[in-house]
Amino acid sequence: MDTVAILRTLVAFDTTSHRSNLDLVHWMAAHLDGHGAKVRLIHSDDGAKANLFATVGPDAAGGVVLSGHTDVVPVADQVWGSDPFALVERDGRLTGRGTADMKGFIAACLAAVPHWRQLDLRRPIHLAFSYDEEIGCLGVPRLIADLQAHARSPALAIIGEPTEMRIGLAHRGFYGHRTTFRGRSAHSSDPASGVSAIEPATRLVAALARFGRALSTRGDRTTVNVGCIRGGSAINIVPGCCEVLWEFRPTDEASAAAVKAEVDRLLAVLSPGVDIEMAQIAGVPALAAQADGAAVAMARTCGARWPPGELAFGTEAGFFAQAGIPSLVCGPGSIAQAHQPDEWIAASELGAADRFLAGIGAWAAAAAVPG
């Protein structure tokens, strides 16, 4: 099967994050097994989802990890011109949910396996496909832990998010939080008999906004955003509970620590008599790869586009980098099409990915295995 045929099959699986991805994973596992790859599935705690880790080539150190996520964002409340889960080819575009983000890259990887199998690979090529990236990168930590337990150390990881095949060296992190305030409900005719949960919540919201503006004023690219606030039940009831959903995007770990310290300080001086619960609901580390590193040199040799850039969106690359695996982002398609109605990828982008992956096969066949 070629890349487009495989993409057609992948798109037909509705792997929206609230659904299981097992049908898709089992199809990919059968495809890879049929072409002689060594395949492992790493399930979620409830068994409803799974990561897939597969290896083509020898059991050796110094290989490359090609990583992508299997889940897609919802199509609810979007107006599509065709069935989101049926690939449509028109005027050089392939339309369907996940074509750009990021089943196009996964399809190209799967299509490359038979070619790689014909080569005398001296280093392995690993495929690492995760679940629940779109709702907080929930699957990839478990995938990486399994990689470290069962595979010899790879030389680099390439995360195939849509960059139009240009090398992405850096992106900010993403940390999402839920802060819940619990006061005491009362009849609004006597507000003093209760403790409002909304009042301290609004003070936190205002303080976060001021902090975000201060960061911007001094040139810090770390951003802060309050995305949702929920509290109260009626106009004549003192609200006993209020929840604030907010996030920040730091440039590095030092910036992340600074934001967390400031929020701890803010919460410590908010209204007495209110219980405050803080929970991190998403955490994606920042990425900062070296432009002159071996991973970048290899990607350029295989045909990745130059010059490199910093990405506006987060990826799973930071997790691989945290695990000590030099990482970069490079994949087909444009992020401008991701998450949109009538999401599409250019056929030419898939062709560029095919050539890039053929180059990776040549690299793995030519590279000497470290002693």
Question: What are the backbone angles phi and psi of residue 55, rounded to the nearest 5°?
Answer: -130, 130
H helix intervals, 118-238 = 140-150, 198-217
Q: Which of 101, 133, 316, 354 is catalytic?
A: 133
Is 71 tagged catalytic? yes
* One-letter identity of residue 284: V
**Which among 116, 240, 145, 124 is positioned nearest to 183, based on CA atoms?**
240
Strands 64-69 and 88-90: unpaired
Is 349 tagged catalytic? no
**Which among 89, 63, 85 is positioned nearest to 151, based on CA atoms?**
63
Strands 174-182 and 275-284: antiparallel
Helix (H) or strand (E) holding 43: strand 38-43
Residue 166, strand partner residues:
305
Q: Which of 14, 46, 59, 71 is catalytic?
A: 71
* One-letter identity of residue 234: A
Active site residues: 71, 133
